[in-house]
A and B are shown apart, each in its own frame.
Chain A
Amino acid sequence: MAERVITPEGEIKIETRDLSVYYGDFEAVKEVSIALPSRRITALIGPSGCGKSSFLRCLNRMNDVILGARSEGEVLLDGRSIHEADLDVAQLRRRVGMVFQSANPFPMSVYDNVAYGPRLHGKPGREALDETVERSLRAAALWDEVKDKLRQSALELSGGQQQRLCIARVLAVEPDVLLMDEPSSALDPTATFRIEELMVELAQQYTIVLVTHNMYQASRVSRYTGFFLLGELIEYGLTVDIFEHPQDRRTDDYVRGRFG
């Protein structure tokens, strides 16, 4: 068991210990212990329904929003538990941002979408806000395409642009971590490629946890990969190791495409 789940080198950003998630009586995530390294991309792969998304939603406590969901075990962000009694959940969610599977921009202008997060925390000055919006859109590799359309509705952008807008929106609150739940599954190959390029660039500054059912994507962009099956973390290690010489038979079967 010790070799199948390794501890990455360097600084650890998020660590879970025996984390389990229940929806009612159903145990979606079973006692997962994993250490996610800082400023790297960690990919979580596995067949659909195996608990990867449920696990991800624990890391920013979005599961709190779901009726009947409950979790056990510990989640540590920079060494501190995120379930502490006096912890401000809203603050947590700014530090640990999330990009969802299908792009969901607000029915507002491009500008207002990106400005939404910063405005939550009080009214920033006009200039400061303009700066933040431009910075975030540049970081999401979207600025050049929308700089003349800031006041237009975000719903008029293409699918790929909308997803990058959602990324910009998250970047505007200046998180440490980006949780990405199958961010390109609804996009065409060109748009997917651009998102992947963006991820690699963002990893220089942010810790990224990527859930994907696309193994090739995982092998392309991530440093570490974890394989989930039926709610359990089967194996976790360097991406090259997972794909080229997996320890567990089930991992081997999955990456060779024998099921899933």
Chain B
Amino acid sequence: MSARRISGPRATQAVAFLLLWVAAAAVVLPVLGILAVMVVRGAGGLSWGLLFSVREGLLPAVVGTVCLVTLTALIAAPLGVAAAVYLSEYARPGPLVRLIRVSLVNLAGVPSVVYGLFGLALFVMVLRFGRSLLAGACTLALLVLPLVISASEEALRQVPRRLREASLALGASRWQTVRGVVLPNALPGIITGLILSVSRAAGETAPILFTAAFFSLTHPFPRSVFGEILALPYQLFVMATEAPNVPAEVKWATALVLVVVVLGLNLVAIVLRARLRRARRW
């Protein structure tokens, strides 16, 4: 075998691997580039004034987003965790469970603007919530529901079977077992899932376009759940498309704030998940 000449398959492999490296770089570099650009251009526009002032600042939008995602979590959490408990602890394999899973897969894939339409039709119009924080939160809750359910179900399944058996063997009912042994041990994972859902809800625009969001300088804060709200992603959208007088650095700063919030929440969830995995002692 000559050491100099690269034979056919090895040459192919070298080329193929090179292309793979290039592809991976082509995916990774934009990410880093995006973050770098945002930090560079946005940091200049960041100031305490921007963050905390009401008239030209982001405070109303931030408050609006906080209210929105909090209400969303409050709606989605009980519904999602209960559904996950059903799927993990009670459901027997059969057509009903299959149908539920198919539905969840589809709910996860519905375009966000279609959720907006549904929210408009059901919450704003039929249920007469009007364009409001409530309608927006209900719509977003529906959007993140599949996420909450799948994260919670995974957390529940991680609890070992023998713990359930020990509880049942002591004469506990299934609900007592769920409440006393399974849920408490799955809680950290469930919370991680909720944080990820909150992060997702914080960044969504389309579902709140016709259900909750508006842009106002005079009444920026909602008076009740039936009022419209400002929200960070919508704020960014309006700034980018309709507000020519806003200085560029303010726009970039707003984008930066949104990204920091969303990625920050993601980071919290990921770190939490890693910590929990290490702390688990069974």
In the bound complex, do residue B170 and residue A102 qualify as a contact, i.e. CB atoms below 8 Å apart? no
Interface size bucket, B side? 20 to 34
Q: Identify A100's interface contact among B93, B166, B185, CB under 8 A.
A: B166
Contact mask A203-214 → B, CB, 8 Å, 1/0?
A: 000000000000
B186 to chain A, nearest CB (A): 12
Q: Which chain A residues border B167 with CB–CB below 8 Å?
A: 106, 116
In the bound complex, do residue B171 and residue A94 qualify as a contact, i.e. CB atoms below 8 Å apart? yes
Q: With A120-B176, A155-B282 known to touch, is A65 a contact of B171 (CB < 8 Å)?
A: no
Interface residues of A in 93-123 (CB under 8 A from B): 93-94, 97-98, 100, 102, 104-107, 116-117, 120
Q: Which chain A residues border B163 with CB–CB below 8 Å?
A: 104, 106-107
Is B246 on the interface with A (CB-CB < 8 A)? no
In the bound complex, do residue A98 and residue B172 qualify as a contact, i.e. CB atoms below 8 Å apart? no
Q: Which chain B residues border A91 with CB–CB below 8 Å?
A: 171
In the bound complex, do residue A104 and residue B166 qualify as a contact, i.e. CB atoms below 8 Å apart? yes
Interface size bucket, A side? 20 to 34
Is B162 on the interface with A (CB-CB < 8 A)? yes
In the bound complex, do residue A98 and residue B173 qualify as a contact, i.e. CB atoms below 8 Å apart? no
Is B10 on the interface with A (CB-CB < 8 A)? no
Is B92 on the interface with A (CB-CB < 8 A)? yes
Is B40 on the interface with A (CB-CB < 8 A)? no
In the bound complex, do residue B168 and residue A169 qualify as a contact, i.e. CB atoms below 8 Å apart? no
Q: Which chain B residues border A153 with CB–CB below 8 Å?
A: 281
Cα distance A164–B180 when bound, in Å? Answer: 21
Cα distance A32–B168 when bound, in Å? Answer: 25
In the bound complex, do residue B169 and residue A60 qualify as a contact, i.e. CB atoms below 8 Å apart? yes
Cα distance A92–B169 when bound, in Å? Answer: 9
Is B56 on the interface with A (CB-CB < 8 A)? no
Q: Identify B162's interface contact among A93, A102, A117, A155, CB under 8 A.
A: A102
Cα distance A100–B181 when bound, in Å? Answer: 17
Interface residues of A in 166-214 (CB under 8 A from B): 166, 169-170, 173
Q: Which chain A residues border B92 with CB–CB below 8 Å?
A: 67
A239 to chain B, nearest CB (A): 26
Cα distance A65–B171 when bound, in Å? Answer: 13
In the bound complex, do residue B169 and residue A97 qualify as a contact, i.e. CB atoms below 8 Å apart? yes
B234 to chain A, nearest CB (A): 44
Cα distance A44–B162 when bound, in Å? Answer: 22
Q: Which chain B residues border A94 with CB–CB below 8 Å?
A: 170-171
In the bound complex, do residue A93 and residue B166 qualify as a contact, i.e. CB atoms below 8 Å apart? no
B216 to chain A, nearest CB (A): 51
Q: With A67-B92, A90-B173, A155-B282 known to touch, is A106 a contact of B168 (CB < 8 Å)?
A: no
Q: Which chain B residues border A98 with CB–CB below 8 Å?
A: 169
In the bound complex, do residue A107 and residue B172 qualify as a contact, i.e. CB atoms below 8 Å apart? no
Q: Identify B172's interface contact among A67, A90, A104, A170, CB under 8 A.
A: A90
Q: Identify A170's interface contact among B168, B170, B176, CB under 8 A.
A: B170
Contact mask A68-99 → B, CB, 8 Å, 1/0?
A: 00000000000000000000001111100110
A243 to chain B, nearest CB (A): 30
CB-CB nearest in chain A for B162: A104
CB-CB nearest in chain B for A175: B171
In the bound complex, do residue A62 and residue B176 qualify as a contact, i.e. CB atoms below 8 Å apart? no
Pick from B162, B169, B282 the residue with the most CB of A within 10 Å: B169
B172 to chain A, nearest CB (A): 5
Q: Which chain B residues border A116 with CB–CB below 8 Å?
A: 167, 170, 172, 180
A56 to chain B, nearest CB (A): 11
Q: Which chain A residues border B165 with CB–CB below 8 Å?
A: 62, 65, 100, 104
Q: Which chain B residues border A105 with CB–CB below 8 Å?
A: 166
CB-CB nearest in chain B for A93: B171
CB-CB nearest in chain A for B166: A104
A154 to chain B, nearest CB (A): 10
Q: Which chain A residues border B169 with CB–CB below 8 Å?
A: 60, 62, 93, 97-98, 100, 170
Cα distance A94–B281 when bound, in Å? Answer: 28
Q: Which chain B residues border A65 with CB–CB below 8 Å?
A: 165, 168
Q: Which chain B residues border A106 with CB–CB below 8 Å?
A: 163, 166-167, 181
